[in-house]
Amino acid sequence: MDKESLVKIEAVCPSKMELAEVKDKLSRAKSGPQYWRCLEELAQTDDFFEMLHREFPRQASIWPESASRRDFLKLAGASLALAGLAGCVKIPLQPIVPYVRQPNEVVLGNPLFFASAMPFGAYGSPVLVESHEGRPTKIEGNPEHPAGLGGSDVFSQASILDMYDPDRSQIITYLGQLRSWSDYVLALRGALNSQKAIKGAGLRILSCPTSSPAMASLMDEVQAAYPDSKWIQWEPVNRDNVRAGSLMAFGDYVETRYNLEKAEIILSLDGDFLSSGFPGFLYYARQFAARRNPDLGDKMSRFYSVQSTPTNTSGKADHRLPVRASEVEQIARAIAAGLGAGGATAGNLTPKQRTWVAALVKDLQAHKGAAVVIPSDNQPPAVHALAHAMNTALGAGGNTVVYTETVQVKPADETKALKDLVGEMNAGKVDMLLIMGSNPVYDAPVDFGFADAMDKVPLRIQHGLYQDETYDHVHWHINGTHYLEQWGDVRSFDGTASLIQPLIAPLYNGKSDYEFVFALVGSADTTDYDIVRKYWQGQVKGDFDTSWRKALNDGYVANTAFAPKNVSAKGGNVPPTSSITAEVMEVIFRRDPLIYDGSRANNGWLQETPKPIMNICWDNAVLISPNQAKQSGLVTGDIVEIDVDGRKVNGPIWPQPGHPDNSITVFLGYGRTKAGRVGTDVGFSAYKLRSSNSPWYAETKITKVGSGFDFAHPQGYQYIDVSDLPAGMTDNLIGRHVIRKATLHDFMQKGFHLEDNEPVPPEMTLYPNYQYTELKWGMAIDLNSCVGCKTCIVACQSENNIPVVGKMQTMRGRQMQWLRVDVYYEGGTEDPSMYYQPVPCMQCENAPCEQVCPVGATVHSTEGLNDMVYNRCVGTRYCSNNCPYKVRRFNFLLFQDFTTPQYKMMRNPEVSVRSRGVMEKCTYCIQRISHGRITAERENRKLRDGEVITACQQACPAGAIVFGDLNDPTSRVSKIKAQQRDYNLLEDLNTRPRTSYLAAVLNPNPELETSEPS
Ligand code: SF4
Is the pLDDT assigned to residue 721 strictly greater than 90? no
CB of 839 shorter than 6 A to ligand 1: no
CB of 958 shorter than 6 A to ligand 1: yes
Is the pLDDT assigned to residue 910 strictly greater than 60? yes
Distance CA 56, CA 43 (A): 22
CB of 286 shorter than 6 A to ligand 1: no
What is the pLDDT, as a whole number, of residue 989?
84
CB of 292 shorter than 6 A to ligand 1: no
Question: What would the mean pLDDT of 696-720 be, rounded to a whole number?
Answer: 86
Q: How far is the CA of 162 from the centre of ligand 1 (A)?
A: 22
Question: What would the mean pLDDT of 935-954 be, rounded to a whole number?
Answer: 95
Q: Which residue has the CA at smallest separation from atom 2 of ligand 1?
A: 792
Ligand 1: which of 311, 783, 789, 823 to mutate, judged by most atoms within 8 Å of the beta carbon? 789
CB of 789 shorter than 6 A to ligand 1: yes
pLDDT in tens, 963-989: 999 999 999 999 999 999 999 998 878
Distance CA 278, CA 237 (A): 11
What is the pLDDT, as a whole number, of residue 578?
82
CB neighbours of residue 767 within 10 Å: 6
Question: What would the mean pLDDT of 254-280 be, rounded to a whole number?
Answer: 96
What is the pLDDT, as a whole number, of residue 64?
46
Q: Which pTM was predicted?
A: 0.91
What is the pLDDT, as a whole number, of residue 731?
44
Is the pLDDT assigned to residue 405 strictly greater than 70? yes
Q: Residue 67 — pLDDT band, cuts 50, 70, 90?
A: very low
Element (H, E) at 216: helix 213-225
| Least reliable range by pLDDT among 576-580, 586-590, 791-795 | 576-580
Q: Residue 14 — pLDDT band, cuts 50, 70, 90?
A: very low
Q: How far is the CA of 113 from the centre of ligand 1 (A)?
A: 23
Distance CA 452, CA 441 (A): 9
CB of 794 shorter than 6 A to ligand 1: no
Angle in degrees, CA 724, 726, 732, rounded to 5: 70
What is the pLDDT, as a whole number, of residue 70?
43
CB of 823 shorter than 6 A to ligand 1: no
What is the pLDDT, as a whole number, of residue 495?
97
Is the pLDDT assigned to residue 878 strictly greater than 70? yes
Say which residue, 94 or 366, is predicted with more confidence.
366
What is the pLDDT, as a whole number, of residue 85?
43
Is the pLDDT assigned to residue 43 strictly greater than 70? no
| Least reliable range by pLDDT among 98-112, 138-152, 222-236, 672-686 | 98-112
Question: What would the mean pLDDT of 278-286 be, rounded to a whole number?
Answer: 96
Give the sheet arrangement for strand 302-307, strand by strand: 319-322, 302-307, 265-269, 371-375
- Name the residue type at position 151: G
Is the pLDDT assigned to residue 133 strictly greater than 70? yes
What is the pLDDT, as a whole number, of residue 674?
97
Query: Cα dist. 645→288, 482, 663, 683, 689 in Å?
Result: 41, 39, 16, 21, 8
Please give the full DSSP string across 235-288, using - where no structure is assigned. Answer: -SS--HHHHHHHHHHHSS--EEEE-GGG-SEEEEEB--TTSTTSTTHHHHHHHH
Is the pLDDT assigned to residue 843 strictly greater than 90? yes
Q: Residue 114 — pLDDT band, cuts 50, 70, 90?
A: very high
CB of 790 shorter than 6 A to ligand 1: yes
Q: How far is the CA of 274 from the centre of ligand 1 (A)?
A: 10
CB of 76 shorter than 6 A to ligand 1: no
Q: How far is the CA of 252 from the centre of ligand 1 (A)?
A: 36
Q: How far is the CA of 44 from the centre of ligand 1 (A)?
A: 29
CB of 613 shorter than 6 A to ligand 1: no
Which atom of ligand 1 is closest in space to residue 791's alpha carbon?
Answer: 7
Q: What is the mean pLDDT of the chain?
A: 88
Which atom of ligand 1 is closest in space to residue 789's alpha carbon?
Answer: 8
What is the pLDDT, as a whole number, of residue 68?
45
What is the pLDDT, as a whole number, of residue 474?
98
Is the pLDDT assigned to residue 318 strictly greater than 80? yes
What is the pLDDT, as a whole number, of residue 345?
61
Q: Residue 261 — pLDDT band, cuts 50, 70, 90?
A: very high
Question: What would the mean pLDDT of 430-459 be, rounded to a whole number?
Answer: 98
CB of 960 shorter than 6 A to ligand 1: yes
CB of 811 shorter than 6 A to ligand 1: no
pLDDT in tens, 169-217: 999 999 999 999 999 999 999 999 999 999 999 999 999 999 999 999 9
Strand boundaries in 732-789, DSSP class E: 741-743, 777-782
Question: What would the mean pLDDT of 259-282 be, rounded to a whole number?
Answer: 96
Say which residue, 590 or 578, is predicted with more confidence.
590
CB of 788 shorter than 6 A to ligand 1: yes
Ligand 1: which of 276, 288, 786 to mutate, judged by most atoms within 8 Å of the beta carbon? 786
Say which residue, 348 or 462, is predicted with more confidence.
462
Say which residue, 337 or 767, is predicted with more confidence.
337
What percent of the chain is modeled with pLDDT above 90? Answer: 77
Q: CB–CB of 312/838 below 8 Å?
A: no
Closest Cα to residue 749, out of 366, 298, 299, 289? 298
In the three-class reduction of DSSP (H, G, I as helix; E, B as strand; rest coil), residue 522 is classed as coil
Closest Cα to residue 115, out of 538, 674, 500? 500
Distance CA 857, CA 850 (A): 8
Question: What would the mean pLDDT of 620-627 be, rounded to a whole number?
Answer: 96
Is the pLDDT assigned to residue 736 strictly greater than 50? yes
Q: Residue 61 — pLDDT band, cuts 50, 70, 90?
A: very low
What is the pLDDT, as a whole number, of residue 650?
98
Q: Residue 26 — pLDDT band, cuts 50, 70, 90?
A: low
CB of 786 shorter than 6 A to ligand 1: yes
Q: Residue 643 — pLDDT band, cuts 50, 70, 90?
A: very high
Ligand 1: which of 790, 797, 818, 922 to mutate, judged by most atoms within 8 Å of the beta carbon? 790
Say which residue, 616 or 763, is predicted with more confidence.
616
Q: How far is the CA of 129 from the centre of ligand 1 (A)?
A: 20
Please give the full DSSP string across 780-822, using - where no structure is assigned. Answer: EEETTT-----HHHHHHHHHTTPPP--HHHHHTT----S-EEE
Q: Which residue has the CA at smallest separation from atom 4 of ligand 1?
A: 786
Q: Residue 348 — pLDDT band, cuts 50, 70, 90?
A: confident
Is the pLDDT assigned to residue 727 strictly greater than 60? no
What is the pLDDT, as a whole number, of residue 987?
82
What is the pLDDT, as a whole number, of residue 579?
81
Q: How far is the CA of 929 from the centre of ligand 1 (A)?
A: 21
CB of 821 shorter than 6 A to ligand 1: yes
Q: Phi and psi (nearest 5°) for 917?
A: 80, 20
Which atom of ligand 1 is closest in space to residue 793's alpha carbon?
Answer: 2
Question: What would the mean pLDDT of 493-500 be, rounded to a whole number?
Answer: 97
Q: CB–CB of 658/831 below 8 Å?
A: yes
Which atom of ligand 1 is closest in space to residue 788's alpha carbon?
Answer: 3
Which atom of ligand 1 is closest in space to residue 285's alpha carbon?
Answer: 5
CB of 961 shorter than 6 A to ligand 1: yes
Is the pLDDT assigned to residue 222 strictly greater than 80? yes
CB of 796 shorter than 6 A to ligand 1: no
Ligand 1: which of 152, 312, 956 to mutate, judged by most atoms within 8 Å of the beta carbon? 956
Q: Residue 732 — pLDDT band, cuts 50, 70, 90?
A: very low
Q: Which residue has the CA at smallest separation from atom 6 of ligand 1?
A: 956
Q: How far is the CA of 958 from the centre of ligand 1 (A)?
A: 7
Is the pLDDT assigned to residue 88 strictly greater than 90? no
Distance CA 931, CA 917 (A): 28
